[in-house]
Each structure stands twice: as structure tokens, then as C-alpha cells.
Amino acid sequence: MPQLRAPRRTAPRPLLAPYRRLFAHPGTRAFTAGNLIARLPMGMFGVSAVVMIAGARGSYALAGAVTATGLAATAVAGPWVARLVDRHGQARVAVPATVIAVLGSLALLLCVRYGAPDWTMFAAYAATATTPNIGGLSRARWAHLLRDDPGTLHTANSFEQAADELCFMLGPVLASFLTGTFFPEAGTLAAAALLLAGMLLFTAQRATEPPPRARTKAASPLRTPGIPPLLACFVATGAVFGSMEVVTIAYADGQGHRSAAGAVLALQAAGSCAAGLLYGALKPARPRLSRCLLAMTALMALPLLATRTTGSLWALAAALLVAGMATAPTMVTAMTLVQRRTPEERLNEGMSLVVTGLLTGIACGSAAGGFLAEHASPAAAFAVPVAAAAIALLINSAAGAYSTLR
């Protein structure tokens, strides 16, 4: 009598398999290594500048004003640099632009070190605005390599978002360690060296570089259908990030644990990083931005609930870890829509406009969160990130309804 065999069980799909396939493409590991090295300083420059200026001049207001000037200059210069990259290629533009930015950082260091007038620090730090958007350059390479494979491109975008979160989580920690252990200028020096070395390694990988588009009749991304509402969503999402950072610091300070604010905020980035990697491995069939924004709005209410009901910094830390898990899927889905809707020959410009939107939102969110934390209470100010996420959801819903009506 023939024996019946048990049905064969298929092994569960390893979560790392999509990433193995992603980095099996020739040249991807080399340019990824370069972009990670160059991206890490993005989380170091601001902290290093604040510590360096405040330590030498005794004014956090001056330090904050200088760094805010740098953010404003980046928002203006970023799209211009990206447009040049689209027209002339990444290597020809990104390297000299990076050299100018590094010289600006070194000039700031010398101005602080030798007691130059305050206006020189503003001018020097404004020069760092020519720093290329390394995340956008990397995403443009993935979009070029995987233009016929949207599933793998989703994995690549998820990895890039996780890398953003990781670098912005580790960058401030590394900057604080260097400035506290060695000397105040150590963070700026290390960040400048890493930026230049990483960019040289990244741009040396010419085989994966998208071809330049010397002349194009494509409209600006700002005039491309569907892009303006997405940029408005990025502004509102940036307000979530900016307000959450300021309000968390204010809350921790009120609890007498201001030094723990960085670790608490790092948990939000860690949750987002983990969710981004998982999101890239699972590859949802039809990711929708409206669902992601709805989830982000709901989860951003957790820190507000934790602070209003428990008053515990540990409860806030746990709430931020969970709330951060909605960030990466939202950013990945929105970034994918930007890639699909932006003309290929102006992709870097579109990515840079995203950064401009985020920076604008971060500035607005920081101001709103700080105002409410000071005039109401830090616990009540956690309503600002919830409101910003809800505004992003309303903008996306209104854009979708308008498109359907048309």
C-alpha cells in the first residue's frame, strides 16, 4: 500500500531576501557605502555648530540663528543645485558643490575659533547650503537602475528611508561624543571629512550614475500635475518632525531629564528605521498614501495620550517608539509617488523640492511646538504633531477628491 506523504511545507519568505536581490545589482554596494558615509554628517553639522558656537560665544540664541540661516539657505539653494545635477550629471556638479560646502564648514570653524564678527558665521554657514541632497542622488540612481522593476524600487526606497532615519539617529550622538570628548570643533571637522570622503566614493561609481539631461522641455516639478499637493503633504509631515523634537525636549526638561531627550527621540527614529526595513521587505500590493497618513495621525496621538495620562518620560519613550513606525511607510509611499510623477530628466530637482518642503515644515513645526510648550504646557504641545499629521491627511484627501472630480 503506497504511503501517503505529508504536504510539503514551503519555507516562509526570508525578510532579507528582497535586500539581497537589491544589492545583487552591480555597483549598488559601492555607491550605497559612499552615500551612507556622506549622509551621516547630515545629522552632525547642526549639533556640532550649536555646541561650537554656544561654547565660544555663550549664546544659544546666536547658535540657533546661525543654524536656522543655514536651513533657510539650503531650502533656497537645494533645488538649484539639483537642477544642475539633472543637466550636467551627478559627478560633475556634486563634487564641486560638496567642496564649497566643506569650505563653508571650515570657514565657520575658523570664525568661531578666532573670534570673528558674528556676521561672518552667518555667511560661512550659509555656504554649506550647496551640500547636495545625497539621499535624493541615491534615490535617483535606484530609480534609473530599477525603472522597469517597481517592486524592487519599493524595496530600494524603503532602504533609503531607513538609512535616513539611522543617520539622523546616529549623527547627533556621534557629534555629541566628539565635541564632548575631544574639543568643540571636533564634530565639525569629522563631519566635513566624512561628507567629502563619502561624496568622492559615491560619485566615483560612474556605471550606476543616471545620464545627464542637457536640454529638456519637461515642465518644472512645481507645475507637474500631482506634485504640488505632495509637496504640501511633505511640509505638513516636516511639521510633525519639527514639533515632536522641540516638544519632547521641553517635556524632558520639565521632568528634570533634559539629557535623556536625545535618547528618547532616538527611539522614534529607531521605530521608523525598523518599520522602513520591514515595509520594504513585505512589498504591499497597493500602498496608498491616505492609509499611511491615517495611521501616522492615529499613532502620533500616542505621545499626547502618554503624557496627559501618565506624566512619565518612560511612557513617552514607548509611545514615540510605536509612533515612529508610521513615519517610514508614509515617507516611502510619498517619495514613490514623487518619483512616478516627476519627469525623469528633472528627478533630482523633484527630490530636492521634497527636502525643501520638509525643511519648511520642520521650521514651522518647531516654532508652533515651542510656542505652545511655553504658553500652555509641554504635554499639551504634543497636540501639534497630531494636528500636523491630520493636516497632511486632509491635504491628500482633498487632492484625491479634486482629481476624481476632474
List the domains of the chain with CATH numbers: 27-215 (1.20.1250.20), 218-406 (1.20.1250.20)
| Position 98 pLDDT exceeds 90 | yes
What are 154-180's pLDDT values in tens digits? 888 888 888 887 887 788 778 878 887
Q: pTM, whole model, 2 decimals?
A: 0.78
Torsion sign, CA atoms 188, 193, 196, 198: negative
CA nearest to 245, candidates 103, 99, 364, 108 = 364
Name the pLDDT band for 301 (thresholds 50, 70, 90): very high
Name the pLDDT band for 70 (thresholds 50, 70, 90): confident
pLDDT over 90 percentage in the chain: 29
The pLDDT value given to residue 201: 95
d(CA 180, CA 178) in angstroms, rounded, equals: 5
Q: If you search the block for the grid coordinates 560633475, which residue do you land on?
A: 92
List the end-to-end C-alpha distance of the chain, in Å, as a whole number: 69
DSSP line for 334-362: HHHHHHHHS-GGGHHHHHHHHHHHHHHHH
The upper half-sphere exposure of residue 285, i.e. CA atoms within 13 Å in the direction of its Cβ, equals: 0
Radius of gyration, CA atoms only, the chain: 22
- Tell me the angle at which helices 327-341 and 150-181 cross, rounded to the nearest 10 degrees: 120
Beta strands (DSSP E) in 273-358 are none
The pLDDT value given to residue 10: 45
- What mean pLDDT, rounded, does the chain reach? 84
| Position 1 pLDDT exceeds 70 | no
Cβ pair 129, 78 in contact under 8 A: yes
Contacts of 363 (CB under 8 A, 6+ apart): 68, 71, 72, 238, 242
d(CA 330, CA 8) in angstroms, rounded, equals: 38
d(CA 166, CA 261) in angstroms, rounded, equals: 17
d(CA 225, CA 405) in angstroms, rounded, equals: 14
The pLDDT value given to residue 302: 94
Q: Is 218 left (phi over 0), alpha (psi -120 to 50) or beta?
A: beta
235, three cell numbers:
511640509
Q: What is the DSSP letter of 43?
A: G
Name the pLDDT band for 214 (thresholds 50, 70, 90): low
What are 319-343's pLDDT values in tens digits? 999 998 988 889 888 888 888 888 8
